Amino acid sequence: MNRSLRTFLMIVIFGMLFSGCGFKDIDKRFFVVALGIDLSDNEKKPYRLTLQLAVPSPKIEPGASKTQIETINTESIAEGVRMLKAYVDKELDFGHCKVFLIGEKLARKDYQNLLEWMTRRRDIQSVADVAIGKPDAESMLNVEPLSERYPGNTLFLSFGADGTESSYTYVESLSDFSRRASEEGLDPLMPVIAKDNRENFVINRTALLNKKKVKLILSPRESQLYNQLASNFTKSSMHGMFEGMDLVVALTEIHSKFHIGNHDGEDTITMDVKMKVVFEEAPKGLYEEQWAPIEKKLSQEYAKTCVTLLRKIQKAGVDPMGFGLHYRATHPGRGAWKEWKSIYPNVKFVVRANIKIEGTGLIK
């Protein structure tokens, strides 16, 4: 037997060995576009999983989205996903799952088990968005928005930069959530999704968590303020008063920074916020007024509101801004983290706001 013939036979034999691989064509797969995890009423099967499966459709137009919802109560998340394979006729594929919803009751109890599963499963993207479903994840995944063009499109656009960019919506990825859940001095936070009276989503609240569960849910106004301070979010607004007049300004530029020090024997976090704004709502005749007193008044009100929010977060015992992480970075040594834990509950907050008005929004 010559050499070329032996090579050919070896190729044929190896080809037969690998012919039984587990690859399945796209028409034999069910793409999971969203997954919800809730607490069930069954103590023996504490988790309730909800899968939103994409049903292919030739139409791509508003209202043409088709999805299939499958739910199951299970003892563990991994086993529940395997059990749900018996409910469908195609292989479940998580490669396109971009949204994970956690029920509010579960998030208030303990989220660590589901985080372990999400970070360990190899076909789940680390860039997927995570959020809390209020009152539960299952009811959120059963919402059918009239404007949805293809399965999961509404939630994808709500969190992605391709769609709406709301100053009330905090966007959290699985990779960042996992990092915050394990990093000393930096705590997790997630957006809260609810449903309005119609078939639509409302995402205007933010939940602050410690390393185990939810500790505080911010109001819409507080959520917007946090986005401004933590992310320098410019597509937002602020409300103020001047001599009894209501003023609403839109932010065109914002920069914030903080440092931790000791002033007069008291541990202090000083935050400097610089903003440029344009009026969106203001009484007539404001264009001819001197803007310096208005800028000063708005700066004072904004600084006071920021201090109130920071104290509320401090009282909840969480640190989403990363003050503790900054302290650990600037105070090397094994005892830095223990020292910060004793400092943070009593630290004083000082906010220095500097607001500059660029215009009244009127053409003169």
What pLDDT digit, counting tens, does each position of 56-88 carry? 665 555 555 677 888 999 999 989 888 888 887
Q: Which residue has the higher pLDDT, 246 or 335?
A: 335
pLDDT in the model for residue 300 = 92
Q: Give residue 249's pLDDT band: very low, low, confident or very high (50, 70, 90).
A: confident
Q: Which phi and psi angles does 200 have, rounded to 5°?
A: -155, 165
Percent of the chain with pLDDT over 70: 82
Report which listed range, 139-143, 185-189, 291-295, is most confident: 185-189
Mean pLDDT of 186-197: 90
CATH fold of the domain at 221-364: GMP Synthetase; Chain A, domain 3 (3.30.300)
- Tell whether the model's pLDDT for residue 328 goes beyond 90: yes
- Tell whether the model's pLDDT for residue 191 goes beyond 90: yes
Mean pLDDT of 170-188: 94
Compute the distance between CA of residue 261 and CA of residue 7 in angstroms, rounded to an integer. 74
Q: Give residue 193's pLDDT band: very low, low, confident or very high (50, 70, 90).
A: very high
Helices (H) and strands (E) in the chain, counts: 11, 13
- Tell whether the model's pLDDT for residue 338 goes beyond 90: yes
What pLDDT digit, counting tens, does each position of 276-324 carry? 998 887 767 666 667 888 889 889 999 999 999 999 999 999 999 999 9
Residues near 68 by Cβ (< 8 Å), separated by ≥ 6?
A: 30, 52, 53, 55, 88
pLDDT in the model for residue 257 = 93
Q: Which residue has the higher pLDDT, 239 or 71?
A: 71
Q: Give residue 143's pLDDT band: very low, low, confident or very high (50, 70, 90).
A: confident
Give the SS3 label for residue 80. helix
pLDDT in the model for residue 61 = 57
Give the SS3 label for residue 284. coil
Q: What is the pTM of this model?
A: 0.85
Q: Give Cα 257 distance to the centre of its chain.
A: 22
Sorted by where each begins, the domain ranges of the chain are 25-218, 221-364
